[in-house]
Amino acid sequence: MTEPLLSLRGLGIRFGGLVAVDDVNLDLPPSHITCVIGPNGAGKSTLFNLITGIYKPSAGTVALDGEDITGLPAHQVAAKGIARTFQSSRLFEDLPILDNVMIGMHARTRTGVLTALLTPGRARRELAGCAEEAGRILKSLSEALFARRYEPAGILPQADRRRLEIARALASKPKLILLDEPSSGMDDRDTADLMADIRRVMAENPGLSFLIIEHDMRLVAELPQDVVVIDYGKKIAHGKFADVRLLPRVQQAYLGQ
Ligand code: ADP
Ligand code: MG
């Protein structure tokens, strides 16, 4: 395999008596889509929180492009090139759609996009360059969203909220984007559009990888190149979905058979 983009070694965290993530070893290559599946409460979101510096691991290491980033605070992990979305969407509801994309640039600029966005006048005008770039990113994801860029994010339906969150993640120019259950609350049509969006973003951003927690089996069957199965905090399988789904442990743990 080529040099891994993300490497987890013996990664774990315990909350009191509960080992929520247990000795996870994982290598993700660049330019790759990997889905994470597993039952509710298996530790998938916690794994994301460990990778992105929201939780500090009780054991193990996280490396990005060969650099040890274990224990770095979340904003530094973001600056290193890992962007994410959360299980429940987190947008600045009252701010325009475009500004929500610009907030994603905060991770890689030193000029304080966040402060400038909240301040009228001069600081605001200095953001013109950022606004242009944010506009380009938004447009690449959705012409319709771009057309509505000055409307507040809070009015958007679920599918567009997800799209906007992906645009915001892209604005940080990441190497890796983690999506936590992006298709939740979407119908079939929205889910199909989401898959197409992710594929297009991959094609337009060479080297970019996605790690996606997903419960919709159609999406898991079609979208990723590889699937990781988590159960009781442990990685129990990693491979092509067609192979992984046949493993007895996976059928037991996840498919309920
Ligand atoms: P999943 O995303 O796979 O549904 P989670 O990662 O959210 O599962 O949770 C895994 C387990 O860790 C659950 O039992 C959950 O209650 C527990 N957990 C997650 N975060 C915390 C925390 N901050 N404190 C205590 N327990 C937690
Ligand atoms: Mg979760």
For position 152, which CATH number holds?
3.40.50.300
| 1 part of a folded domain | no
Q: What SS3 state is found at 148?
A: coil
Residue 174, ligand 1, Cβ within 6 A = no
> Which residue's CA lies nearest to atom 25 of ligand 1?
15
Rounded to whole angstroms, the Cα distance separating 13 from 11 reads 7
Core vs surface per residue 163-190: b (16+ CB within 10 A) or e: bbbbbbbbbbbbbbbbbbbbbbebeeeb
pLDDT for position 140: 92
Give yes or no for residue 15 CB within 6 A of ligand 1.
Answer: yes
Neighbours of ion ligand 2 (CB under 5 A): 45
pLDDT at position 254: 63
Within a domain: residue 145?
A: yes
User: What torsion, rounded to 10 degrees, do the Cα atoms 199, 205, 207, 212 define?
Assistant: -40
Give 21 Cα–ligand 1 centroid separation in angstroms.
9
Taking the C-alpha atoms of residue 91 and residue 94, their distance in angstroms, rounded to an integer, is 9
pLDDT, position 217: 86
Q: What is the CA radius of gyration of the chain?
A: 18
* Axis-axis angle for helices 188-204, 158-170 (nearest 10): 10
State residue 218's pLDDT score: 85
Q: What is the pTM of this model?
A: 0.91
Q: Determine the Cα–Cα distance for residues 21 and 24; give it in Å rounded to an integer.
A: 7
Q: Domain containing 190: what range?
A: 6-255
Domain for residue 15, yes or no? yes
Q: Give the pLDDT score at 23.
A: 98
* Sequence-ordered list of residues with C-beta below 8 angstroms from that of 48, at least 6 positions apart, any chain: 54, 84, 178, 180, 211, 213
d(CA 226, CA 127): 39
**What CA–CA distance (Å, rounded) separates 137 from 170?**
7
Return the structure tokens found at 224.
């990723």
- As given in the structure block, the two tokens for residue 192 are 């199909």
Q: Please identify every stretch of the chain with a pLDDT value under 50, giving residue numbers as ranges.
A: 257
pLDDT of residue 107: 65
Q: How many domains does the chain have?
A: 1
pLDDT for 14 equals 97
28 forms beta bridges with 6
In a domain, 69, yes or no: yes
Check pocket membership of 12 for ligand 1, CB cut-off 6 A.
no
Q: Relative to the alpha carbon of 20, which ligand is closest?
A: 1
